[in-house]
Chains A and B, each alone.
Chain A
């Protein structure tokens, strides 16, 4: 019996700037630690984060006070457990399968990727983050979801507004006013697209859910699409930017990746190195213990996959980007019932399509000043800019 040690001084600002040295210290000294600034107990070891995520009965995703519910105007699958969760999840999962991607989408994605690459100017410095990573992630997702008619700008704006609302832990009015407005816009667009998807059933998530034999309620179909908008743009965008950064700052590895066409390995290493979603919350459903430390009922645990992905138990020199390291399972896509629905899609779109096309198109691509790249984020993390010269 022992109460978890308390880290009184740690602030969210420090975690947002660079959490990695902090997590490294925690893994060594206080792997299970209370952080009052976040009002949560942090779990930093891979074995603990995985155990918690794999056991939804003891560690629930259902957070009764989540701002997410208010932002989405619905209780979404991300915060549900058990049968209800499975039903809503499986309603859209078929649209995200590797086979559908291969048969229905791969050519279209290549076309989209080529189009966005064509637009990039050669010989001058461009910000790939805003010029490529964001828009291409938005366009691809629009097609997967069946929202072909929606612009990149609207997709990205809705996504950010939903995320800001879901992260509005202080329940301020303004972010919810913006999410309410975005919800109204999205509902109107979804309403207008229903006739097309009913008349011409296709493999997009919207169509698959609408035309199912035993469809889930319309309100939950809408909520699912919104979750995918909120969760399906920033992560692939950040993953792509992170991997490009990793490769450009390690030219030996880049050469070897090209030679072996090891793009899939580069993808896995990038999301391991800096997990786009760094942490996920779970609530203890009863009084528990983890490794002899008391976990009181009702407490919120922060399972930190960012830290698990660099755990010394699994990785040698885990702080470094190394595409050719000894393989070990990472948790960048989570684990357990809430394992990312978009994992297959992201591997195909970012790993198999975007990365090789970018480096083939611009063999002389250069990041002259890596120190200008700004990294930020505690819940979500990635570069905020990526100024490269393309040749």
Chain B
């Protein structure tokens, strides 16, 4: 298990335990985190799972996936350097403690 903390736009934080191998999106959805809609179920087709990776974790979460960029352009909220589609971040042991910030809108 690895821990992930989700930070809402108002600053409130929720920490959950998630299985390695799951995506950050899947972990959020199965724990009922507000602000991750994930309407396409991880197919990289909806951009409603947009999140901002905390600066301290950017190296560990790695590069955007092939094709992720163009879908991120379609996200509702502002696009930043740290923007990722949470369905494209796979959880590994190295991501234990990961912090991601949620945008103010998804759809």
Q: Which residues of A contact B (CB under 8 A)?
A: 50, 53-54, 56, 86, 89-90, 93-94, 96-99, 329, 333, 335-339, 343-344, 347
Picked from A86, A329, A333, A344, the residue with its CB within 8 Å of the CB of B74 is A344
CB distance from B3 to the nearest CB of A (A): 25
Q: Which residue of A lies closest to B41 (CB)?
A: A54
A residues within 8 A CB of B41?
Answer: 50, 53-54, 335-336, 339
Q: Which residues of B contact A (CB under 8 A)?
A: 37, 39-43, 45-47, 67, 70-71, 73-76, 107
CB atoms of B37 and A329 under 8 A apart: yes
**Bound form: Cα–Cα A338–B73 in Å:** 18
A residues within 8 A CB of B74?
Answer: 93-94, 96-99, 344
CB atoms of B43 and A339 under 8 A apart: yes
B residues within 8 A CB of A90?
Answer: 67, 70-71
Q: Which residue of B lies closest to A351 (CB)?
A: B107
**Bound form: Cα–Cα A338–B88 in Å:** 17
B residues within 8 A CB of A343?
Answer: 39, 46, 107
**Bound form: Cα–Cα A54–B87 in Å:** 13
**A339-B107 contact given A97-B73, A97-B74, A344-B74, CB 8 Å threshold:** no
**A89-B73 contact given A337-B40, A339-B39, A343-B107, CB 8 Å threshold:** no
8 contacts between A and B (CB under 8 A): A54-B43, A93-B71, A93-B74, A94-B70, A94-B74, A329-B37, A337-B45, A339-B40
A residues within 8 A CB of B70?
Answer: 90, 93-94
A residues within 8 A CB of B42?
Answer: 54
What 6 A-B pairs are tightest by C-beta distance, nearest first?
A: A339-B40, A97-B74, A54-B41, A337-B43, A98-B76, A339-B45
CB distance from A11 to the nearest CB of B (A): 33
B residues within 8 A CB of A335?
Answer: 39-41, 43
